[in-house]
Amino acid sequence: MDLILQGIGGAIAKLAALDPDVMNAAVASLVVSGAATALAVVTGVPLGALVGLTRFPGRRLVLSLVNTGMGLPPVVVGLFVAVFIWRSGPLGDLNWYCTRQAMVVAQYLLAAPTVVGLTAIALQSIDPLLRVQLLSLGASRGQAAWLLIRESRLLVFGAAIAGFGAVISEIGASLMVGCNVKGDTRVLTTAITLETSKGEFATAFALGFILLAIIFVVTAFLTYTQQRRTYV
Amino acid sequence: MLEARDLVAYRGDHQVCHAARIDLAEGEHLALLGPNGAGKSSLVLGLATLVRTGGELRHRGAPITDAEAYRRHIAVVFQRPLLLDRSVRDNAGLGLALRGVGKRERDARAENELARLGVAQLADRSALGLSGGEAQRVSIARALAIDPEILFLDEPFSALDAPTRETFIADLARVLRERGVTTVMVTHDRDEALSLADRVGVVMNGELRQIDTAEAVFGMPADPEIAAFVGVENVLPARVERATDELTFLRIADRHVEITEPPPAGDDFPLMCVRPDDVVIAREAASSSARNQFPARIMRIEPIGRRTRLVLDCGFPLIAHVTRQSARDMALAQGDQVVASFKATVPHLLPRIRH
């Protein structure tokens, strides 16, 4: 019990002092996971709309793959990305191994299936006649898709929240492609692992508090945006 | 305005409705009438190019090659209002927004249509909090705001309760008259069709079977199924005895009937249709211009809405409708002997369908 209390006390002191290592890891987590989630939303929502609103051969297979992707183990994603960006790998010339770019790619691959899958489900749950109604009002297919995405924004924001939650708290992929470089690719989760293995519970607790706070603040912001009505 | 030739509407790969010919004139109001599942809605969706179609469809004389461009000239109102999670004003202006109309003009035109439909006071409210009747009015305002050349209405009143529906139909009839917009309305309700339409098309079993003036469809249905659907309850097998220049003499069971309509060519065994409203009931035979008078026994008396339905046996079964007041005044009772009559100009002859 003393160990826990000492750890929490030390964490509060580090947070109050804005410990540079803790702050750097927090910023790295926000930048990497924020960028990966943003990319997943920008590409995943249109893809989800395509899968949810159109009929094409192999659509069910695509949906199955997307659903499988929602449960991808981060270490497997980390392994594939590492193989691709390894010096002798197909994308070795990019020199992305042990960089934040590599972590963004890995986290993007983890978040995107969630965003695509949940967006597709959101659009499939809308009354199909609403799309016909929009087309009858003169909407192009693109305009109709955009209006339907806006109409299902509650679930689309839910997809973004789920995607962010999945990547900010993952550790395997970040560790494998980011290499946990202090002050650069060391994010909150990899830092917590490292500090715990060293017995530095105060730092680990401080990092843990910040991770929880970030998840709460970002999710609360997205939830607020999700619930906000567009009309007044 | 709109011409269809051999139009086939598909749902998926299935053909669900066929119309040999539709000619819709500018400003005309056409009602498509038929039982549930007959294919009326699919035909309308086909005319609106919202489902896959075959055959020929022409708008203002030109074949429709660009469905999206054509749809900018039309509007469709469905059974459900299908409003977006926005304000009523934004919903009413949605079609205009899709056409790139600026917000100020959009709002003004939307508010104008909302006022015309009697829901201007709801403009700032969320569309999701409206009652069924209010929401459907907003849906129609949304359609009219884009000033469509053709308005398609797919059973817009069917989800409304009776009082709301009656007011709504009256208001819509007024608005459509004022605007002079060409309208195609789907309904399975004969009264709605009569309230709003210049012509009536009857769709049965996936086929547009008859399209004509309301008087012609209700008075001279093209086949027994249509006759039954439009309320011609008396469809009686007859035999042509002889025909003169003025009259056709028929035999139904052991009774003689005289009618003015000539017999169908080559068919000596037609079906004779008489609307129950055209049968007159009296206590005793009277001297009148009605060429057909039969002593009859009342087999059954059934109240239907504001009328009374009499099932008569006058040598052949005959259905008559009288007002409830008349039934009371005449003290009609089951088993009573009465006289049933109808004029020679009333019956309509159908060729017998032989399988």
- Taking contacts as CB-CB distances below 8 angstroms, the residues of chain B near A133 are 76, 78, 82
pTM of this prediction? 0.74
Largest CA distance in chain B: 75
CA of B148 vs chain A CAs: smallest distance (Å) = 10
DSSP helix, strand, coil percent of chain A (3-state; round to 5): 80, 0, 20
CB contact under 8 A, B86 and A132: no
How far A227 CA lies from chain B's nearest CA (Å)?
Answer: 12
* Best residue in B10, B42, B50, B151 for a mutation probing chain A (most A CBs within 10 Å): B50
For chain A, the three-class secondary structure string (H helix, E strand, C coil) is CHHHHHHHHHHHHHHHCCCHHHHHHHHHHHHHHHHHHHHHHHHHHHHHHHHHHCCCCCHHHHHHHHHHHCCCCHHHHHHHHHHHHCCCCCCHHHCCCCCHHHHHHHHHHHHHHHHHHHHHHHHHCCCHHHHHHHHHCCCCHHHHHHHHHHHCHHHHHHHHHHHHHHHHCCCHHHHHHHCCCCCCCCCHHHHHHHHHHHCCHHHHHHHHHHHHHHHHHHHHHHHHHHHCCCCC
Instruction: List A residues 133-162 in contact with B (Cβ-Cβ < 8 A).
Output: 133-140, 143, 147, 150-151
Residue of B nearest to A128 (CA): B82
Structure tokens that stand for B319 in this block: 């259905």
pLDDT 10s digits, B166-191: 777 877 888 888 888 899 999 877 77
CA neighbours closer than 13 Å in the CB half-sphere of residue A30:
17
Measured between its terminal Cα atoms, the distance across chain B in Å is 38
The shortest C-alpha distance from B244 to chain A (Å) reads 55
Sheet containing strand B348-350, edge to edge, reads B234-237, B271-274, B348-350
The amino acid sitting at B78 is: F
List Cβ neighbours of B25 (8 Å cut-off, separation of 6 or more): B1, B182
Helix (H) / strand (E) element for B136: namely: helix B132-145
The label of the residue with tokens 């109604």 reads A133
**β-bridge mates for residue B3, sequence order:** B23, B58
Query: What's the pLDDT score for residue A31?
Result: 94
Optimal mutation site among B11, B41, B98, interface A, most CBs of chain A within 10 A: B98
The more confidently predicted of residues A16 and B238 is B238
pLDDT in the model for residue B43: 93
Give the residue-averaged pLDDT of A20-46. 91
Residues of chain B with pLDDT under 50: 355
> So what's the pLDDT on residue B93?
93
**Which of A138, A143, A151 minimises the CB distance to B84?**
A151
Determine the CATH number of domain B2-228. Answer: 3.40.50.300
Q: Ramachandran region of residue B151, left (φ > 0), alpha (ψ -120 to 50) or beta? A: beta
Asked if pLDDT for residue A232 goes beyond 50, the answer is: no
- Nearest-Cα residue of chain A relative to residue B46: A136
Residue pLDDT, tens place only, B110-140: 999 899 888 889 988 988 888 888 898 899 8
B-chain CB neighbours of A130 within 8 Å are 82
Determine, for residues B78 and A229 on separate chains, whether the beta-carbon distance falls below 8 Å.
Answer: no
Q: Inter-chain contact B87–A129, Cβ cutoff 8 Å? A: no
Architecture of domain B232-350: Beta Barrel (2.40)
What gap in Å lies between CA A8 and CA B164, rounded to an integer?
66
Identify the H or E element spanning B185. Answer: strand B182-187
CB-based contact A137 B142, cutoff 8 Å: yes
What are the structural domains, with CATH classification, of chain A?
A: 2-227 (1.10.3720.10)
Q: With beta carbons under 8 A apart, name residues in chain A contacting B130.
A: none
**pLDDT at residue A190, as a whole number:** 92
Chain A 101-140, residues with CB within 8 Å of chain B CB atoms: 127, 129-130, 132-140
> How many residues does this entry show for chain A?
232
User: Is the CB of residue A55 less than 8 Å away from at least one CB of chain B?
Assistant: no
Strand partners, A186: none
ipTM of the complex model: 0.73
The ranges assigned to domains in chain B are 2-228, 232-350
Burial A182-202 (b: 16+ CB within 10 A, else e): eeebbbbbbbbbbbbeeebbb
Q: Residue A229 and residue B126: Cβ atoms within 8 Å?
A: yes
CB spacing of A130 vs B82 below 8 angstroms = yes
